[in-house]
Structure 1
Amino acid sequence: MGRTRNTRLETVIRELGLSQRQLATRFRAVAAEHGASELQSVAQPYIARWIGSPVEGRAPYILAETLSRGLGRRITLADIGLAAPAEPEPQPPAWSEDTLTMLVTLGSTDMDINRRRLLTNSVYSVAALAVPEDRWFEQAIDRARARRPLSQYWVTAEDVEAVREMAAFFSRRDQQRGGRAGRTALVAYLRSEVAELLSGRFPTEDIRRGMTSAAAELAYLAGWTAFDAGEHPVAQQWLTIATKLAEEAGDAPLAGHVLRAMAHQAVDLGKPQEAVRLAEASLSSRRYAQACWRERSLLGVVHARGLAAAGEKKAAVAALLRAEQDLSRADADDDEPNRVFFFAEASLAHETAATLRDLGDLPEAEKQFIRSVRTRRAQFARTHSVTLGYLGAVQAQQGHLDRACDTWSQALDAMTGVQSGRARETVVQMRRALSPFRNRAGSRAAELDARARAMLGSA
C-alpha cells in the first residue's frame, strides 16, 4: 500500500516560495532556539520525506513555527496536515481569551504530566509576542469588573494578604533553588485556591484589585520559573496571563514587570527586535511612572539588553546609564513590592555585563560580572551560579583559560542544590568551550569537564 502524499504541507511550502534546502536551513535555526538538538541534522531530504510520511516528536511544531514566521501568519498543525486526532494541538497564548479560563486551563495542563509534556514540546510563538494596543489594556479593568462570579464566597482582605505571602515565599525559593524547585506546588496553588478566590465575590473594588494583583504575581512566578527551567512555551503562556491579570487589577507597574520578563525571555531566545518592543511596552508612561526606582532600573536594564542584542549600541549604552541612575535613587525606606527585593547592585552589574558582552566589549563585561559576584548576597544562589557561568565564558572567550577554569569551578560549587535550566545551560556551554582541551589527561580542563559531565548526568 503506497503512502498518502501530504498535499496540505506541500501547498503551504509552495506558498512560502523557498526551496526545500532553504526551508531546512530555517527549520534548523528554529530548532536551535528551542534546544532541539535532535533536529539539527534536518536537511532537504527530510522535507521531501515529510511530504509523504508522518512527522514525529517535536518536528511538527518546529515546522509549523518555521512556516508561520516565513508567511507572517499562524500556521497550525492542521493547516499542514500534521494534527494528531487524539490530542488537541497546544495553542499560543491568546490575549483575547478570558483570563480566568486561560488560568484554569493552563493550570490543569501544567499539572498533568502528559499534557504538560505536549505543551513543553510545542514551540515558543513569536506571533504571540505582538501585544495589544494600549486601549485594549486600559479596558481590562472594565472587563474584569463585568465578569460574573462563579462562587458565593466573599473574598476578604485576609485572603489577599495570604496570597501575597505565598507569592513572597515562592519568589524567595526561586532565587535560592531555581525555577524547577517547587513549580508543581506553585501551579497547584494557582490552579485551585487562587482560581477559586478570583471566581468569588468582592465586597469592595480595592479587594478585587488586591486579589487580582496578588494572583498576577503568582502567575508571573509560574512563568518565570518555567522560563528558568527552560520550558519556554509554558512560560510564555503564564506570562501572558500574568500581564492580563495585572492590567485587570490596574497594577501598571506589575504589568510592566511581567512584560520585562517576556522581553528577557525574547533576548535569551535570540529575538532581539521582539525583545525591544516588549521592553518598550514595559516602559510605557504609566507602567514606568508608577513603578518604584528599583523596578524602573530593572525595566531599563532589560531594555538595554534588547537594544544591545539588536545592535543598537548607542541606545543600549544610554539605557544602561539611565538604569544605573534609577537604581541610585532607590532607598531602603522606599515602599517597594516584594517582587524587586532581589534587584540591587549585583543584579544591575550582572545585566550590565550581559549587555556589554552582547556589544562585544568583553573586558568591561568581565569587570561587571566580577562586580556582580563580589556584591551578591548569599541567598541568591541560582543567579550567583549563572553569573559565575557567564563570567567563565567571557574569560574563556578572551583566551584566559586558567582563569575561566577557576571561575567555572566556583560555578559548579554554587550550583549544588540549584534546579535551574539556565544554570544547567551554562554547564553545557562550559563543556563546549572546554572541548578542545578535554583530551589532555590530568589537565585542569579535563578534570573540570569530567565534573561538569557528571553534574549534567545527575540533573
Structure 2
Amino acid sequence: MGRTRNLRLEAAIHELGLPQARLAARFRAVAAENGATELAATNQSSITRWISGTRPSGRAAHILAATLSRGLGRTVTLADIGLAAEEGNDPRPPQWSADTLTTLVDLGGTDLDMDRRRVLASSAYSAAGLALPSETWWKEAAERARTRTPVSVRTVTTQDVESVKEMTVFFSRRDQQHGGRGAGRPALVAYLRTEVAAYLAGRFPSEEVRRAMTSAAGELAYLAGWTAFDAGEHPVAVAWFTVATKLAEEARDAPLAGHVLRAMAHQAVDLHHPRRALELAEGSMIERRYKLAAPRERALLGVVHARALAVSGQKKEALAALTRAGTDLAAADPAIEEPARVAFFGEASLAHESACTLRDLGDLKGAEAAFRHSVRTRALPYARTHAVTLGYLGDVQVRQGHLDAACATWNQALDTMAGIRSGRARDTVVQMRRALSPVKGRGGSTAADLDQRAREVLARVV
C-alpha cells in the first residue's frame, strides 16, 4: 500500500512561500539551536519525502513545526501539519529536547480533544519515560529559551504576567474544591494553549519579563498536570509535568522545577514505582531547588522525599526527612510572601503526608494519629484532599481491626465527596469497598449499608 501525501504539510509550506531548499536550511538552523545534531544532514530531499507521506523520525517533526511557526508568525502544531501521533500508536510523554512551545500547544490540543485524550490517558504509565535529562540539558535550557526567535510581534507586559498568575490561582482553587475531573479543567487547558502560548511566542521587553512569563506559564502547566494526575489520567499528567519542568528551567526558576519534580515523585509513589519516585524526589531536593525555595515549599519537597524513602525501605532516612520537613514548615512566616502554589500546604497537609509515610513504614498506630490530626486541622476549602485523608484514615483503622471506627470515618468521607470529581477520591472509595469485603459479614448492617452507599457514590459522584 502506497504512502498518502501529506496535504496539510504541503499547504503550510505553500503558505510559507519558500523554496524547499531554503526551508531545509532554516530547519537545519533551528535543529542546531536545539542541539539536534542528528538532523544536520536534512536537505530538500527530506522535505520532499515528508510531503510525499514519509513520517519524520525522532525530533524532526517538532523541529519542522518550530521552523514553520517562525516563518508564519503563529504557532504551528504537529496536528496542523499532519504529523500528530496516529490513533492506535502508543503515545509517549514529550521528549525533553522537543521545542517547548510547540509541545505545549500540541499537548493542549490532545487534552481538549476527548477522543485523543482518551487514547493518551489509557496508554501505560511508564516509569522509564520519567528518566530525567542530562545535566547539560539543565544548564542549557534557559539559554536556548533566551535566544528563541519570537513567533509573533506581540509585546508581553508585566500586566500580562500578573493576569496569568491570577488565572492560576483561580484554577487552583477550583481544583482544590472540585477535583481534577471538574468542569474547570478544559477551561484551564484552553487558556494555557491559547492565551499563554501566545504570550510565550511574543516579544519580551526585558529578560526579567521573559523569565517571569515563562515561570508563570510553567506553574499553570504544572497545574494542568496535577489536575490530570488527580483525574487518574497519568500519562497525560506526565506529559504536562514534563512541559512544566522545561518551562521552569527556561525561566531559571529552580524552586518551581523542584515543585514539579516533587509532584512527579508523588505520582510515582502512588503508582508503586519506588526507585523512580526516589530519583525524582532526590532531584527535587538538590541544593539549587531546595535552598532557594521558601520554607513552606521546602517542607513540601521534604515530606514527599520522606514518602519516597519510606516506600524504598529506608526507614531511618524517611523519619529524618519527616523531622526536617516539620522544621521547615515551622520556619514559615505568614508575613513573608510565598508562591501561591504552596498556599494549601500547612499543618494539615504535613500531617497527611507524614501519616502516609508512617503507614508505608508499617506504623499503623502512628499513621492513624497523624491522619486524625490532619482531619482536625484541615481548612474547609480543601474538600478533595479532606475526603482522601478520611478515606486513608478509615483504611488504617480497619487494618488494625477497628471496624466500627473505620465505618464511621468512611461515612464521613462519603459525606465530604458531594460535588467532588476526583480520580484519587474515587480510588479511596474503591479501596474502601475492597477493605470492607472480607469483614462485611461481621460488621452487621452498618458495614453493609456503608458498602451500598459507597457503590452508589462510585456510580454518581466521582
- Specify if TM > 0.5: yes
Could you tell me how far apart the structure 1 residues matched to 2:432 and 2:87 are?
Answer: 41
Is the 1:92–1:125 Cα contact (8 Å) retained in structure 2?
Answer: no
The equivalent of 1:140 in structure 2 is: 141
Could you tell me how far apart the structure 1 residues matched to 2:240 and 2:272 are?
Answer: 20
The equivalent of 2:202 in structure 1 is: 200
How far 1:134 moved relative to its partner? 3.0
The equivalent of 2:157 in structure 1 is: 156
The equivalent of 2:390 in structure 1 is: 388
The equivalent of 1:177 in structure 2 is: 178
How far 1:146 moved relative to its partner? 1.5
The equivalent of 2:81 in structure 1 is: none
Selected match of 1:435 from 434, 437, 440: 437
Amino acid in the other structure paired with 1:174: D
Q: Name whichever of 263-272 and 92-101 sits farther off.
A: 92-101
The equivalent of 2:11 in structure 1 is: none
The equivalent of 1:401 in structure 2 is: 403
Could you tell me how far apart the structure 1 residues matched to 2:322 and 2:87 are?
Answer: 50
Could you tell me how far apart the structure 2 residues matched to 1:87 and 1:122 are?
Answer: 10
The equivalent of 1:214 in structure 2 is: 216
The equivalent of 2:108 in structure 1 is: 107
Could you tell me how far apart the structure 2 residues matched to 1:110 and 1:185 are?
Answer: 11
How far 1:147 moved relative to its partner? 1.1
How far 1:97 moved relative to its partner? 0.9
SS at match of 1:124: coil
Where does 1:344-383 land on structure 2 (aligned, <5 Å)? 344-383=346-385
Q: Name whichever of 143-152 and 365-374 sits farther off.
A: 143-152
The equivalent of 2:296 in structure 1 is: 294
How far 1:88 moved relative to its partner? 4.5
Q: Kindly tell me: are residues 297 and 450 of structure 1, through their superposed partners in 2, closer, same or farther at Cα, counting changes over 3 Å?
A: same
How far 1:135 moved relative to its partner? 3.0
Could you tell me how far apart the structure 1 residues matched to 2:199 and 2:91 are?
Answer: 27
Q: Kindly tell me: are residues 222 and 157 of structure 1, through their superposed partners in 2, closer, same or farther at Cα, counting changes over 3 Å?
A: same
| Structure 1, unaligned runs of 5 or more | 1-83
Amino acid in the other structure paired with 2:240: W
Q: Can you list the C-alpha shifts for 1:37-68, whole angstroms capped at 9, x where unaligned?
A: xxxxxxxxxxxxxxxxxxxxxxxxxxxxxxxx
Is the 2:261–2:280 Cα contact (8 Å) retained in structure 1?
Answer: yes
Q: Can you list the C-alpha shifts for 1:409-437, whole angstroms capped at 9, x where unaligned?
A: 00000111111100110000001111134
Is the 1:300–1:320 Cα contact (8 Å) retained in structure 2?
Answer: yes
Could you tell me how far apart the structure 2 residues matched to 1:134 and 1:247 are?
Answer: 12
Could you tell me how far apart the structure 2 residues matched to 1:397 and 1:437 are?
Answer: 11
Q: Can you list the C-alpha shifts for 1:387-422, whole angstroms capped at 9, x where unaligned?
A: 000000000000000000000000000111111100
Where does 1:183-332 land on structure 2 (aligned, <5 Å)? 183-332=185-334
Give % identity: 66
Q: Can you list the C-alpha shifts for 1:17-38, whole angstroms capped at 9, x where unaligned?
A: xxxxxxxxxxxxxxxxxxxxxx
Is the 1:141–1:247 Cα contact (8 Å) retained in structure 2?
Answer: yes
The equivalent of 2:449 in structure 1 is: 447
How far 1:173 moved relative to its partner? 1.1
Could you tell me how far apart the structure 1 residues matched to 2:143 and 2:391 are?
Answer: 46
Q: Can you list the C-alpha shifts for 1:302-340, whole angstroms capped at 9, x where unaligned?
A: 000000001110110010001001111011111201000
Could you tell me how far apart the structure 1 residues matched to 2:442 and 2:449 are?
Answer: 9
How far 1:87 moved relative to its partner? 4.5
TM-score w.r.t. the length of structure 2 is 0.80
Could you tell me how far apart the structure 1 residues matched to 2:439 and 2:274 are?
Answer: 33
The equivalent of 2:79 in structure 1 is: none
Amino acid in the other structure paired with 1:336: E
Could you tell me how far apart the structure 1 residues matched to 2:373 and 2:273 are?
Answer: 28
Could you tell me how far apart the structure 2 residues matched to 1:127 and 1:440 are?
Answer: 44
- Number of aligned pairs? 376
The equivalent of 2:16 in structure 1 is: none
Could you tell me how far apart the structure 2 residues matched to 1:163 and 1:118 are?
Answer: 29
Q: Kindly tell me: are residues 422 and 345 of structure 1, through their superposed partners in 2, closer, same or farther at Cα, counting changes over 3 Å?
A: same
Amino acid in the other structure paired with 2:223: L
The equivalent of 2:98 in structure 1 is: 97
Could you tell me how far apart the structure 2 residues matched to 1:384 and 1:354 are?
Answer: 14
Amino acid in the other structure paired with 2:167: M
How far 1:145 moved relative to its partner? 1.0
Could you tell me how far apart the structure 1 residues matched to 2:88 and 2:409 are?
Answer: 46
Q: Kindly tell me: are residues 86 and 257 of structure 1, through their superposed partners in 2, closer, same or farther at Cα, counting changes over 3 Å?
A: closer
- RMSD of the TM alignment (CA)? 1.3
Is the 2:257–2:284 Cα contact (8 Å) retained in structure 1?
Answer: yes
| Structure 2, unaligned runs of 5 or more | 1-84
Could you tell me how far apart the structure 2 residues matched to 1:86 and 1:288 are?
Answer: 41
SS at match of 1:179: coil
SS at match of 1:322: helix
Q: Kindly tell me: are residues 441 and 175 of structure 1, through their superposed partners in 2, closer, same or farther at Cα, counting changes over 3 Å?
A: closer
Could you tell me how far apart the structure 2 residues matched to 1:88 and 1:341 are?
Answer: 40
Amino acid in the other structure paired with 1:143: R
Amino acid in the other structure paired with 2:131: A
Selected match of 1:333 from 328, 332, 335: 335
Could you tell me how far apart the structure 1 residues matched to 2:443 and 2:277 are?
Answer: 43
Selected match of 2:413 from 411, 414, 417: 411
**1:130 corresponds to 2:131:** yes
Is the 2:372–2:393 Cα contact (8 Å) retained in structure 1?
Answer: yes
How far 1:293 moved relative to its partner? 0.3
Could you tell me how far apart the structure 2 residues matched to 1:249 and 1:301 are?
Answer: 25
Structure 1 residue runs of 4 or more that deviate by more than 3 Å after TM superposition: 84-89, 437-442
Q: Kindly tell me: are residues 85 and 227 of structure 1, through their superposed partners in 2, closer, same or farther at Cα, counting changes over 3 Å?
A: closer
Q: Kindly tell me: are residues 85 and 99 of structure 1, through their superposed partners in 2, closer, same or farther at Cα, counting changes over 3 Å?
A: closer
Amino acid in the other structure paired with 2:285: L
Could you tell me how far apart the structure 2 residues matched to 1:376 and 1:387 are?
Answer: 10
